[in-house]
Amino acid sequence: MDKRGLQIDGFLLSAVAAEIRSELVGARIDRVYSASRDSIVIAAGRGRARCLVISASQAASRVCLTSAPPASLPEPTPFAMLIRKHLTGGRIVSVRQLELDRVLTVQVEGWADADPSQNKLLIAEITGRLSNIVLTDMDGRILDAVRRVDQSRNRYRELLPGAVYLPPPPMERLDPRDIPSREAFVAAIRRHALQSQARAQLQPTGHAASRRAQADGIGAALAHCFAGIGPTLGAELAFAAQLNPAQIAPELNDAELSRIWETFSAFMDAARTGRFMFEAAFEREGGHDAERAVALSCGGLSYLADRFRIERFASASSMIDTCYSRAEERGRLEEYRRMLAREVGARLERSRRKLEAQREELARAGQSERLRRQGELLTANLSLFGNGPLRTESVRAIDYYDPKMAEVEVEVDPSLSASANAQVLFARYARAQRALEAVAGNIAATEGDIAYLESVASLIDMADDIEHLDSIQEELAALGYSGSGRTAQGPAKRGTKHKQRGARSRQTEAHMPSQYTARSGHEIYVGRNNLQNDYLTLKLARGQDLWFHAKDVHGSHVVLRRRSGEEAPEETVRAAALLAAYYSRARMSSNVAVDCTEARNVRKPRGARPGMVIYDRHKTIWVTPSREEIAEAFGLNGAALDRTHD
């Protein structure tokens, strides 16, 4: 299977273009907005169920119709504002694909049915990491692009305002719809095989050569020879011909070439009439990424059925929207996770530096005993110095603390008497003692900050969705560890009462932990941030409930509901322990100690940070956290496991 991730090939894009033409050509554009810095959403034709999404995201570039459009950014991007200016109110005239390339052009007529020469072209280049969205006039003059490209980055073409638009350079591939016969098809395959062999001879032996050999399998050969066919579709055509997609093209005999020609020509006949089979492959249920799409195709995915879960869709847009929206959601989750992790990590680093400075200050303050001793020595030796100014910067005094009664040198103020110098030393000692107490308190507070922030960093690592990260961000903001927080999407102005109700509602939801139901029927709750942990342990849990926490590591509080005097089944107790281990810093360990006690034995020390508790009378359960075992314990599949908190 191709390892470059999800790809929209030319034939799949042609199916999308046909759907857009059928639904939107002739409709007027009502609204244009930006869903991200490199995507736009177009709503056209009042009352129509679906919007057009065009994304140039490097992780999830796509064009498709969607019935669940993404939310708009709080502030539109400059490109979206330009699109809005030129296209809002205009009528979609045509949707054209550049041959079988991954380039789609939407022509929009002016809002007042202006001269056709004043129409605008919105061009979507869905080419992976080089994807782009470009707005031009009918003469090809670029008005702007999502990603501006100058000659320092691309000598072939500029994508800058005022430049003339050039499409991406064409690949030297045949149009498969124009292949007239089996002979022409076989000739193209063999020609490619000879070229591949020649290139392989120029490659050094070793890893690079093995990669080239793998790329020259018959599935990849179809993708290299013919426009519009990606590696996934090429592999499926080879599999449909009862061939191994990785089989080297030069090794195919005449019978095998005939079989693949038959599947190839059958697909071309279907493509000419728009008869496609839209299938996507997902990680099997129960895996770590149960909802992650790994491939999509307009020709079926039978060759992946033994390794992945295959799902069929009614249209190209619904397939692309499902697969890429999940990929984009994961991308947003990881970006959000990195942002929060950077913020918490920076605060942790500052707190650790602060703690180091406080400990150095404590060490200096700890030398105050020397001041007291020197003051006492001066007082004990007053008879040696008299009552007048000492007139020297140091004096020698008998050390009565030393069994040998040795003389020691004491630094003094020459203008003061011995008695006055002793009082100065005692005053300095008193100040040092007060500072010592303050520094000790500051150190305790800083150590509490560090422990709390480390627990938050663990929760950030364990968060499975954006809602969990939102609740962590809100917690940080509420406790003064963050700024104004992540900007929520939605209307900018709302009524005061509405805001107050919304704030109370969000606060209540933020404190509601995830809930699971064991096979025995017992309810198990999991706190997913520190405020939830406090609410769960100190308010929601009853005295007889069982409380779980991974031993000596940061993690979630877990509570197993049980009736007074009831003995929970052993498998249910183990299921709760598995959750505590899985939602902890030790989730990747092979053997995790989980402490279990009654909730009545858990208490919060005075002044402790959120999530910080102490407990006793506990027993320790050893488990190996496993997503598959947790899903089995609760009778869930992998996807449902992630949704139990809803």
pLDDT tens profile 501-535: 444 444 445 557 889 999 899 999 999 888 889 99
**Largest Cα–Cα separation, the chain:** 123
Question: What pLDDT shows up at residue 642?
Answer: 52
- Mean pLDDT for the stretch of residues 210-219: 60
How many Å apart are CA 489 and CA 282, to the nearest integer? 30
Instruction: Give pLDDT tens digits for 179-199.
Output: 999 999 999 888 887 777 776
- In the predicted model, what is the mean pLDDT of residues 557-571? 91
Q: How far is CA 226 from each of CA 176, 221, 295, 579, rounded to the nearest angstrom? A: 6, 9, 20, 51
Report pLDDT for 35.
87
Q: At what angle do helices 368-380 and 418-462 cross, to 10 degrees?
A: 170
Mean pLDDT confidence for 566-583: 93
Question: Hey, what are 58's tokens?
Answer: 């490097």
Q: pLDDT class for 287, splitting at 50, 70, 90?
A: very low
Arithmetic mean of pLDDT, 123-139? 93
> Is the pLDDT at 34 greater than 60, yes or no?
yes
pLDDT for 358 equals 86
Mean pLDDT of 232-243: 94
Architecture of domain 10-145: Roll (2.30)
Pairing outcome for strands 29-36 and 103-109: unpaired
> What phi and psi values does residue 608 have, to the nearest 5 degrees?
-70, 150
Q: Which residue has the tokens 């059928």?
A: 22
Highest average pLDDT, of 411-415, 476-480, 555-559, 606-610, comes from 555-559
How is 519-567 classified by DSSP, letter by letter? TTS-EEEE--SHHHHHHIIIII--TTSEEEEETTS-B--EEE---TT--
174 versus 437: the higher-pLDDT residue is 174
Given pLDDT bands bounded at 50, 70 and 90, which one contains residue 478? confident
Closest CA to 44 of 60, 65, 59, 29: 29
What Cα–Cα distance (Å) separates residue 584 from each residue in 21, 204, 509, 518, 568? 50, 47, 22, 20, 23
User: pTM here?
Assistant: 0.65
Per-residue pLDDT, 184: 92
pLDDT > 90: percent of the chain: 45
Per residue in 449-466, pLDDT (tens digit) is: 888 888 888 888 888 778
What is residue 2's predicted lDDT score, i.e. its pLDDT?
Answer: 46
pLDDT at 643 over 70: no
List phi, psi (to 5°) of 199: -65, -40
Give the residue extent of every domain in the chain: 10-145, 180-275, 363-446, 511-643
**Is a pLDDT exceeding 50 seen at residue 495?**
no
DSSP character for 6?
-
Q: Are 605 and 534 in contact (CB under 8 A)?
A: no
Report yes or no: 622 and 593 within 8 Å, Cβ to Cβ: yes
| pLDDT recorded at residue 284 | 66
- pLDDT averaged over every residue in the chain: 84
Looking at residue 239, its amino acid is: F
Q: Would you state the pLDDT for residue 296?
A: 93
Confidence (pLDDT) at 209: 45
